[in-house]
Amino acid sequence: MRIIETISEWEAIRKANFRSWGLIPTMGFLHDGHLSLIRRACSESEGAIVSIFINPTQFGKGEDFTQYPRAIDSDLEALQREGVDVVFVPSVEEMYPLGFDTLVVPGALSTCLEGKSRPNHLAGVATVVCKLFSIFRPDQAYFGQKDFQQYLVIDRLSRDLNLGVKVVLGETIRSSDGLALSSRNSYLSHSERHAATALYQALTKARNLYTNGITNCRDLKKAMMAIIDLEHLVALDYLSIGHPDSMIELEVIEAGAIISIAAWVGSTRLIDNIYLSE
């Protein structure tokens, strides 16, 4: 495994290896959700590149950029075990040198949900991913369903800007009680960790009702709210039942939907979603 810190080191590797590359962008503090994407990339590409970069441009003022958890040594050990070929660990200056003055701003897809609650977040993500795609020119790049809107934005970005990267969606990996794995789960206290399961419980409640024939989104949201309201440590940010291609809110589910939830559990903001097929 090669650990590189500069773009020029990558250029030398790329020139010496004519293979198909899979890229997995991460912010580190790796868990099984990241590792499932990495394993898939390793099996579907000849070379796997993992980037670990806590990207300042995707954090808003007052968000957790400085506190974001870090564990670079154990991350590198895990990546070595997985057989990853290249790990990119750039500094902020390497990615955003003095004078950097460009932002990639996604369109309509970024106006709702995360885009609304975290202004500039998706533009920050699109900017850094666009840079990673330009630097590595991977054949495939892997993103998790947990951040479904992010996946849609990046897929659109790759197509719209002709970046030629196939954007692959990996399933959400959960702990045994259903909570989606997230680096931010490490912020939760014992009681918050317990309360956080309400997010997945609300999502599965909606899925069960839908399976039993309830397609009216107001009724589904009401049933989800009833679960969230039971947990005094959980404060809802948004609930959405949207079209899986556009995230546009639905009144009635006719041909599948993505149900998304964002909530504060104490001072930690968590997101999750599930996909309902037709």
Residues forming the site for ligand AMP (CB under 6 A): 26-27, 33-34, 36-37, 143-144, 146-147, 170, 172-173, 180-183
92-97, long-range: CB < 8 A, 24+ apart: 92/56, 94/5, 94/6, 94/7, 95/53, 95/55, 95/128, 95/131, 96/56, 96/57
Q: What are phi and psi of 172, to 5 degrees?
A: -75, 130
Q: Give the span between the Cα atoms of 71 and 29, in whole angstroms.
A: 5
Task: Give the pair of three-digit tokens for residue 47.
Answer: 């070379």
Q: Which is nearer to ligand AMP, 40 or 217 (CB)?
A: 40
Q: How far is the CB of 129 from ligand AMP (least distance, A)?
A: 9
Half-sphere exposure in the Cβ direction for 192 (13 Å, CA): 16
Quote the strand ranges of 101-218, DSSP E: 140-144, 166-170
CB of 99 to ligand AMP, least distance (A): 26
Closest to ligand AMP by CB, 37 or 224: 37
Closer to ligand AMP by Cβ: residue 84 or 217: 84
Residue 65's contacts (CB-CB under 8 Å, 6 or more residues apart) are 54, 56, 59
143 versus 253: smaller Cβ distance to ligand AMP = 143
Q: How far is the CB of 147 from ligand AMP (least distance, A)?
A: 4
Q: Which residues are catalytic?
A: 34
Q: How far apart are CA 199 and CA 216, in angstroms?
A: 20
Provide, rounded to whole angstroms, the least separation between the CB of residue 261 and ligand AMP: 14
